[in-house]
């Protein structure tokens, strides 16, 4: 009992470690009346232990606090759990009690804030494993990546890319501009005949806005419903010119012709008018009015 009392008196911040296999013997040596350590010598020996060398300042400080002032540490844990829970709610991720406690403990041990990239990455892992309760930042970021890829650059994007880029957007180590640059490169590779225009900073949507408008106008469609990545309108993006033996985009005139070959054209106002005019001409050609 006297030994424990001596340790608590001389090294109160480390008294909790008396039963630690590495720190315990050191503490006992430090208060040995036959050869007591000075504070300087104790610290030197302490800093040479694996316990010291393998922990960061934040980790050591937290471990000391958790063992010497449990009441204050409990309050810190509760506050950190609350902060992480609020962020999780905002980004749309459901954390169970164990996950919440693990993240809070990790943040306190490493000295990280609740919204640090490391904690956000952990939330992203939970999100990916099915911990989604409602639409939030992660799902919105995934959708943002998908929209940029398909609607602006006309390139496919995998679920893995959506998750990876979306997570990095939320965490903050990827910008929307960087996503656009990546999709522009993919589009230039996919549509090499358009690389020059894409390299000027234009999107595929900007390059083909007139083509989309032509199709929508001819077929009386919402322009947003015209998908140039689909099989029907794929030739608008890539026509093989047999005369020049090269790939190119369809002209607006060629695009109009494609649209008018769609059977839906004859149900449109222009289609009906054209059909009526054509019928009249045919009847006149055969001597009928």
On whether both 188 and 232 belong to a single domain, the answer is no
Q: Look up residue 248 and give its DSSP letter.
A: E
For 247, the 3-state DSSP assignment is strand
* Domain closes at, from 54, 78, 93: 54
**Within-domain flag for 32:** yes
Helix, strand, or coil (residue 200): coil
From first to last of the 289 residues of the chain, give the pLDDT tens digit: 477 777 788 878 888 888 888 888 888 888 888 777 788 888 898 888 888 888 888 998 998 898 888 899 999 999 999 999 888 877 778 888 888 999 999 999 999 998 888 888 888 778 777 655 554 777 888 899 999 999 999 999 998 898 888 888 887 778 999 999 999 999 999 999 999 999 999 999 999 999 999 999 999 999 989 999 988 999 999 998 888 899 999 999 999 999 999 999 889 988 888 766 655 665 666 665 4
Q: Is residue 100 part of a domain?
A: yes
Number of domains in the chain: 4
Grouping H, G, I as helix, E, B as strand and the rest as coil, residue 241 is strand
The reported pLDDT for the residue numbered 154 is: 95
Nearest Cα neighbor of 114 from 154, 139, 106 is: 106
Nearest to 149 by CA among 133, 136, 164, 134: 164
Question: How far from 203 is each of 139, 153, 180, CA to CA, in Å?
Answer: 24, 6, 9
Provide the 3-class DSSP secondary structure of residue 239.
Answer: strand
C-alpha distances out from residue 180 to 54, 163, 217, 283, Å: 41, 16, 29, 56
46 and 83 together in one domain? no
Please check whether residue 117 lies inside any domain of the structure: yes
Dig out the tokens for 169 from the structure.
Answer: 């957007």
pTM for the full predicted model = 0.58
Three-state SS at 175: coil
**Interacting residues of 219 by C-beta distance below 8 A, sequence separation 6+:** 259, 262, 264, 265, 268
Q: At what angle do helices 137-147 and 117-128 cross, to 10 degrees?
A: 80
pLDDT score, position 120:
83
The C-alpha atoms of residue 105 and residue 99 are separated, in whole angstroms, by: 10
Residue after which a domain boundary falls, among 81, 99, 128: 128
Residues 184 and 214 in one domain: no
Element (H, E) at 274: helix 269-285
Look at residue 62 and tell me if it is in a domain: no
Exposure string over 184-196, b if 16+ CB within 10 A, otherwise e: bebbbebbebbee
Residue 52's H or E segment, with its range, is helix 50-53
Residue listed under structure tokens 């020049």: 244
| Residue 288 maps to a domain | no
Domain annotation covers residue 279: no
Domain of residue 27, residue span: 2-54
Phi, psi (degrees; rounded to nearest 5) at 132 = -100, 125
The answer to whether residue 118 is domain-embedded is: yes
Token reading at 146: 């998908």
Q: Is the dihedral of CA 109, 114, 117, 121 positive or negative?
A: positive
């Amino acid at each position: 009992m006297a030994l424990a009392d001596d340790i608590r008196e001389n090294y109160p911040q480390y008294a909790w470690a008396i039963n630690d296999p590495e720190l315990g013997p050191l503490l006992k040596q430090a208060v040995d009346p036959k050869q007591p350590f000075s504070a300087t010598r104790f610290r030197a020996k302490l800093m040479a232990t694996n316990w010291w060398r393998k922990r960061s300042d934040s980790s050591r400080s937290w471990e000391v606090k958790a063992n010497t002032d449990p009441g204050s540490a409990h309050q810190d844990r509760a506050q950190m759990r609350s902060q992480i829970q609020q962020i999780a709610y905002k980004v749309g991720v459901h954390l169970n009690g164990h996950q919440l406690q693990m993240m809070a403990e990790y943040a306190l041990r490493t000295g990280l804030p609740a919204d640090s990239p490391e904690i956000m990455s952990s939330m992203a892992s939970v999100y990916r494993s099915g911990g989604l309760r409602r639409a939030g930042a992660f799902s919105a970021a995934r959708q943002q990546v998908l929209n940029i890829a398909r609607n602006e650059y006309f390139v496919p994007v995998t679920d893995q890319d959506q998750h990876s880029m979306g997570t990095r957007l939320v965490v903050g180590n990827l910008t929307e501009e960087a996503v656009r640059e990546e999709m522009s490169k993919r589009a230039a590779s996919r549509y090499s005949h358009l690389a020059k225009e894409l390299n000027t900073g234009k999107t595929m949507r900007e390059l083909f806005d007139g083509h989309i408008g032509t199709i929508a106008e001819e077929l009386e469609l919402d322009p947003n419903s015209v998908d140039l990545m689909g099989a029907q309108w794929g030739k608008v993006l890539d026509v093989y010119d047999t005369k020049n033996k090269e790939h190119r985009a369809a002209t607006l005139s060629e695009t109009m012709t494609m649209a008018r070959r769609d059977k839906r054209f004859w149900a449109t106002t222009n289609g009906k008018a054209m059909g009526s005019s054509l019928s009249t001409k045919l009847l006149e050609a055969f001597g009928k009015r």
